Every structure is written in C-alpha cells, then in structure tokens.
Amino acid sequence: MNTRCPAWCDRVLMSPSAKELILRSESEEKVVTYDHIGPNVCMGDHKPVFLAFRIAPGAGRRCQRLEGTPGETPP
C-alpha cells in the first residue's frame, strides 16, 4: 500500500490559546501524549489520532470575556 501525505484525520486542531494553556501548565506532571489509535488494526494508511494532556481546573478562565461593543475585537 502506498503511503499518502497526512490528512485532516491524522491531526489534532486547537487554537493558539489552547496550546498556550497546555504548554504553560503548572502541573507537576507535564505529560502530553499524541499518538494514533489502533496501531495493530488494518485501517488503511490513515489512522485516527488523539491528544491527551492535563491542565489545572479553571486555567482558561481568563479568556472568557467575549462581549463588547459591536465591531470590537475580543482581547
């Protein structure tokens, strides 16, 4: 079987602010796991992937304010 370029099913999409929360996590265990599902199962050359990580409860609350005047860009 020929191998193709990675497709959207081979990626985890996240916003820059989510990535920042993961990277600046204050957890003692900074374990980030990115892998594919079913390494021993024949699913063709594209396999679903997953991302597992820990962040502190409430870590993203600073980004909750979205209201403002019309046309104003949120912080």
Q: What's phi and psi for 17, nearest 5 deg?
A: -70, -35
For residue range 20-75, what is the model confidence (pLDDT) as tens digits? 888 776 666 667 888 888 778 877 767 788 888 887 777 776 655 555 555 555 55
Q: What is the pLDDT of residue 72?
A: 58
pTM over 0.85: no
Which sequence spans correspond to the domains of the chain? 8-56
CB 29 within 8 A of CB 54: yes
Is the model more confident about 1 or about 2?
Answer: 2
Amino acid identity, position 68: G
Q: What is the pLDDT of residue 27?
A: 60
